Chains A and B, each alone.
Chain A
């Protein structure tokens, strides 16, 4: 640890204060509650000193100084509100406004515009200029980025965030002086990652979002902070919703609330790919197949039919004739409930999900070596990071952002071992390219097998490179080790064993929003929640008050095999598309009674007998566990009448099957009243009330459809999950450590791990139905302009 920097004494507006040497004056002022206005200064980005709004008077300096570029010095006496300063601010605003069109009534930024705020605060609402403002037509740079040149105030935030933050460098400044203009990299359009960071960071409405443009105004929406439904990084996203004919329409997603693990960051998916919710092809009523055709039905009809059939199968063919496939996109509570439903209501261990990483082996390795997992925040702070496999820029954009910024701002060391020349190599201290599929051999080499080195050098790395890397890694304390689905089973153990002695922390990368949660909640035929084998079932039986079936169930592929052999009579698929993901034969699903709970007519849903339309993450509450293990709470934002959350559907089916719902969901204990925590966006006051109640142990869980009641149970049963619930309800992230309940040897099925291989612009089924993502990809493929809305 470096010594803490020396404190220096400064006086601001007569207030004496201290700040660490090297602190920027603008930050030091902020610390004591004195706001110095600025446009171009943005924490975390390089200094620009372009806008001149932060000019302050410093004693013994002849001219006004920019607070954003002046570090504090001993004995500095600063005045931020002197007559001179006030005048200069006003003059600066007047100049900024000289060419700024006053089209606030139609500008998308109206109401959340920093220039508006400043003009209100510091004056200059009336201009002395009488010249005609120069006008340029708005330009479309990409399906999602529009540029309105006259509104631009040349703060260069977009240029810096695109270059430094995203490492894309797609924006630049052309011409000079008053004629300066922000320019895209392809002269009249952008070729970039379409992350929209430039739009978010723009203090005015110069850069606007293609999907939100002219739709509504910021104060007309409700803003609900929830967790992104795409990749496994768990970015907090603020969903803007407004009333519509069909419930609550999602108008935009942004990161207005910068308190999440993602801070400023959101990628193209988090920002724009919510539009699948309103896709025309979305299934919004239960469908029952009659004579080979889907016929709309009521919820009561559909649920009765499903419950009857399930009951019949269990009674006639036994519980082994029924299979359940869970989802990577449903909440922890729903996953937990689903496995409980399978094991208790149906009485079978035939439950599985689409595995995108070998989490069971990871859990075992962590427990065996008494190692710890890293949170997404750790990645930003670690002194060194090792990345084996995966391409975070494409598959884990937030992770890539954290690594880039850690390297840039903290000068951390970053080592990459990959079979491809991934983009992150530009930040790497050392990049070692190995042959495709050689990640396991690399781990072998790390563990001390020098012979393995010979097979690793075909892709360009030399023996010296490899040894150098191994030596460097051995010298790194508090390293964060990140690996993709390339490593499975024993390789993970070996890797953890190698790095654990150096106090390393680990991240195993899975693909979807809640892959980690699905694994933690025990969507396995051979593992209970918390990666416990059946030998440790007693603990669960005690909590559940029922026996856990002893027989190990069938995995996903075995279920399809059994269906082909006529042994599987019913299949319940929740939010998953195994037919496409595992390239399985959909015709084997003709014989069994198949229930699919999903949003769209997927390859699996086509083969179903009953389709139940489900709500997705932004339309319900619950918790998600990010791939790092960061637990966060979802809040209901959007709403589509006639679809139901998976939680509710499962509970209803169980109830119709005659099962005592109280045994399934532990609701109705203690003081009870629904104070609105299940209503999300519509609840307003009640949500704050619920935080208060939580803090006093008076939390209301009155309805069997309340996921928080199940969260209680999860927290009691799964050791890593006993984190502060108040913190979760308040919208914060809590890191869950992986604690395997009994350190048993876990059956691992590396062959069942099928990474989704999503790119920056795809996201499984949801991505296929996102108009924005499709238009972005079309734009990239054809090079033609495509409107996003």
Chain B
């Protein structure tokens, strides 16, 4: 009986091996693949470089509440807050982040900042090609992290933004 048991075990194992042999390959052909991502394929949940989102009016969602910085286990987020004014409205609430830096030397892509964010302002994008020869380049500023201004902004602004501020936002 022992013999039969061994044979069946081997057969069971080899069946998986042979089965896999005939399936298509799942290795991505990065960086020699097609398209702008050069063959890289992401799961939706992939945690890449952060994106600071804007709301439907093109205003920044970030209200500089510092919760991401507080949640960050590697202490890589640096924020300076400032107050919105009628003439210079950056975010939807009273306050906005004048400076928002993420130090990718330190970031461990844990996603705690995204979880902490009460306004869904910070999200993980799929950006991943962060390698650089100079460590100082890894400190990303707000301008590098911000999402683009939605195309409809300018025609469909609900918030009370002055013309000058609107122009500034569009041309940025």
The residues of A with any CB-CB pair to B shorter than 8 Å are 103-106, 110, 138, 213-217, 219-220
Contacts and interface: CB of A to CB of B under 8 A. Distances in A.
B93 interface: yes
Contacts of B63: 105-106
A216 B81 CA distance: 6
B119 interface: yes
Given A105-B93, A214-B64, 10 more contacts: A105-B67, A106-B64, A106-B93, A106-B95, A110-B65, A214-B83, A215-B81, A217-B70, A219-B66, A220-B70
Contacts of B143: none
23 contacts: A104-B65, A105-B63, A105-B65, A105-B67, A105-B118, A105-B119, A106-B64, A106-B65, A106-B95, A138-B94, A213-B83, A214-B81, A214-B83, A214-B94, A214-B95, A216-B66, A217-B65, A217-B66, A217-B70, A219-B66, A220-B66, A220-B70, A220-B79
Contacts of B65: 104-106, 110, 217
A468 B10 CA distance: 114
B113 interface: no
A305 B131 CA distance: 52
B82 interface: yes
B97 to A, nearest CB: 11
Contacts of A103: 93-94
A272 B30 CA distance: 59
A205 B124 CA distance: 32
A219 B63 CA distance: 16
B66 A106 contact: no
A623 B65 CA distance: 37
A779 to B, nearest CB: 19
Nearest to A242: B80
A771 B64 CA distance: 25
A390 to B, nearest CB: 40
Contacts of B70: 217, 219-220
Contacts of B66: 216-217, 219-220
A103 B65 CA distance: 10
Contacts of A220: 66, 69-70, 79
Contacts of A219: 66, 70
A82 B67 CA distance: 35
Nearest first, the 7 A-B pairs at minimum CB distance are: A105-B65, A214-B95, A217-B66, A214-B83, A106-B93, A105-B118, A106-B95
Contacts of A213: 83
B69 A106 contact: no
Contacts of B94: 103, 106, 138, 214
Contacts of A138: 94
B61 to A, nearest CB: 10
- Identify the interface centre among B70, B82, B95, B119: most chain A CB within 10 Å of its CB: B95
Nearest to B94: A106
B23 to A, nearest CB: 48
Interface in B99-140: 118-119
Interface in B55-99: 63-67, 69-70, 79, 81-83, 93-95
Nearest to B121: A105
Nearest to B119: A105
Contact of A104 (B69, B81, B83, B118): B118
A151 to B, nearest CB: 12
Contacts of B79: 220
Contacts of B69: 220
A110 B65 CA distance: 9
A55 to B, nearest CB: 31
Contacts of B83: 213-214
Contacts of A106: 63-65, 93-95
Contacts of A215: 81
Contacts of B93: 103, 105-106
B28 to A, nearest CB: 39
Contacts of B82: 214
A214 B95 CA distance: 6
A220 B82 CA distance: 14
B112 to A, nearest CB: 15
B119 to A, nearest CB: 6
A105 to B, nearest CB: 3
Nearest to B82: A214
A529 to B, nearest CB: 46
A90 B70 CA distance: 28
A391 B142 CA distance: 53
Nearest to A138: B94
Q: Which of B79, B93, B94, B119 is packed against the most chain A CB atoms within 10 Å?
A: B94
Contacts of B64: 106, 214
Nearest to B92: A106
Contacts of A110: 65
A647 to B, nearest CB: 32
A213 B93 CA distance: 13
B113 to A, nearest CB: 13
A727 B88 CA distance: 50
A219 B67 CA distance: 10
Interface string B153-170: 000000000000000000
A110 B116 CA distance: 14
B11 to A, nearest CB: 57
B74 to A, nearest CB: 16
B79 to A, nearest CB: 8
B106 to A, nearest CB: 16
> Which among A105, A138, A217 has the highest number of chain B CB atoms within 10 Å?
A105
A219 B69 CA distance: 10
Contacts of A214: 64, 81-83, 94-95
A220 B71 CA distance: 12
A217 B67 CA distance: 9
Nearest to A220: B66
A103 B94 CA distance: 10
* Residue of B63, B65, B79 ringed by the most chain A CB atoms within 10 A: B65
B111 to A, nearest CB: 19
Contacts of A105: 63, 65, 67, 93, 118-119
Nearest to B118: A105
Nearest to A103: B93
A215 B65 CA distance: 10
A105 B70 CA distance: 12
B86 to A, nearest CB: 12
A138 B66 CA distance: 22
A215 B79 CA distance: 10
A505 B66 CA distance: 50
Contacts of B118: 104-105
Nearest to A244: B80
Nearest to A105: B65
Nearest to A217: B66
Contacts of B119: 105
Nearest to B67: A105
B100 to A, nearest CB: 13
Contacts of B95: 106, 214
Nearest to A102: B118
A552 B95 CA distance: 61
A220 B80 CA distance: 10
Interface centre among A104, A138, A216 (most CB of B within 10 A): A216
A186 to B, nearest CB: 25
Nearest to B62: A105
A53 to B, nearest CB: 25
B75 to A, nearest CB: 11
A103 B119 CA distance: 10
A106 B67 CA distance: 10
